[in-house]
Amino acid sequence: MATVSTVQRSAAMLSAIRTPARRVLSPALRAISTRGLATTTRPRVPALTYKIPTSFSYPSKSVQLQKRQNSNDSNSLRNWGFEEVRIAHPQVTIYRESNNNQINASLPSESGSPTHKPILVDVREPAELQGTGIIPSAISIPFASQPDAMFLTPDEFETRFGFPKPEPVDGAQMIFYCKAGVRAKAMAQMAVQAGYDPSTVGYYWGSWLDWERNGGKVERWEGDD
């Protein structure tokens, strides 16, 4: 009997301990369970938007001071088929072809023609000349492969190229040209830096493309193989 009573008392004590613990733990467990099952809503990150411009604006080129060459000069390039002759930085002349479709760079035979024909210098590479030909009377001094050509002494130049270094005399003009005018302008500027008189140096703006478009005469280039 005493043993049964002792067991009953022990069971009652365990029940008394479990009930408060259950009361304390149950809300915490329910909260944990609720948080675990709840759907988490992540904040939306706004998408980055890249606006592609439909047009671009470029700064306008500075206007260069220009002046026309004296057309009354017997050596004026107008007599050679070039209409506009302008002076631009850095002191080299820009020659623009006229609308005459039969421009001839060789020495004219009619009276009143220039006493000194211009020295035409083609600064394109030999491979280009082989494909297109060359303006009659022009000499070839490639700009890309011979960038120091205008700085050579006369002896060094002739040794390298096989012909005398061009030297404008008595008011003659030395005109550089390439395919479109960019290399020609660079070579003309280098010629001035090498000591050539700026008043005798120029470049043909538009160059071969302009010459060909206007029907200028062309001859086969007989260069080195």
Please give the structure tokens belonging to residue 95: 């020659």
91 vs 213, higher pLDDT: 213
Q: CATH 3.40.250.10 occupies which residues in the chain?
A: 77-213
pLDDT digits (tens, 9 = 90+) for 191-224: 999 999 998 998 988 899 999 988 888 999 987 6
Rounded CA separation 174/79 (Å)? 15
Top-ranked range on mean pLDDT: pick from 3-17, 29-43, 107-121, 174-188: 174-188
Q: CA 49, CA 28: separation in Å to the nearest integer?
A: 46
Enter the pTM of the model.
0.56
Mean pLDDT of the chain: 69
8-state DSSP, 219: B
Q: Could you report the per-residue pLDDT of 94-121, keeping only the tens digit for each?
A: 666 543 333 343 333 344 445 567 899 9
What is the pLDDT, as a whole number, of residue 7? 63
Fold of the domain built from segment(s) 77-213:
Oxidized Rhodanese; domain 1 (3.40.250)
